[in-house]
């Protein structure tokens, strides 16, 4: 999720010596990050809707029409992915409000600041996520 612009906008959180994990400052940092990404995604979705409404033309040439339909399908897939990400962001903000953010849903250990910086919507520690992905690969075979 985070790209270069997000990293510039939100430099990685550097905890003070002896700072408690998921302190108020850390929670505020991640809340700001999540809300900023959510606003950006919502703006992208809104712009896409307006662009698609403005560009809704019926091309006479079948190749042009097929190209336009392909472009629209790609845009819609991207927006659907972003809609799902907004849902995950809302869930992460809910975990912050509930005091559960930053801890693994599976084993309860700290997820870690570096992992949360890379994926602020993470709900599993790296070990549990790795095990989950291994299970998924085995089932897919």
In whole angstroms, give the CA distance from residue 53 to residue 47. Answer: 10
52 is in an annotated binding site: no
Whether residue 125 is annotated as binding a ligand: the answer is yes
Question: Which pTM was predicted?
Answer: 0.80
Mean per-residue pLDDT pooled into runs of 10, the chain (141 residues): 53 90 96 94 81 69 81 86 94 96 96 95 96 93 72
pLDDT of the residue at 89: 97
107 assigned binding-site residue: yes
4-140 folds as: 1.20.120
């Amino acid at each position: 999720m985070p790209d270069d612009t997000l990293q510039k906008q939100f430099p990685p959180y550097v905890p003070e010596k002896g700072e408690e994990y998921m302190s108020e400052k850390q929670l505020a940092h991640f809340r700001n990050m999540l809300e900023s990404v959510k606003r950006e995604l919502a703006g992208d979705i809104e712009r896409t809707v307006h662009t698609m409404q403005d560009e809704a033309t019926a091309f006479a040439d079948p190749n042009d029409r097929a190209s336009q339909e392909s472009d629209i399908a790609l845009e819609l897939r991207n927006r659907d992915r972003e809609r799902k990400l907004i849902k995950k962001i809302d869930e992460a903000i809910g975990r912050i409000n509930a005091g559960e953010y930053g801890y693994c849903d599976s084993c309860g250990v700290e997820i870690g600041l570096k992992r949360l910086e890379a994926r602020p919507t993470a709900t599993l520690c790296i070990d549990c996520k790795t095990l989950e992905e291994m299970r998924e690969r085995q089932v897919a075979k």
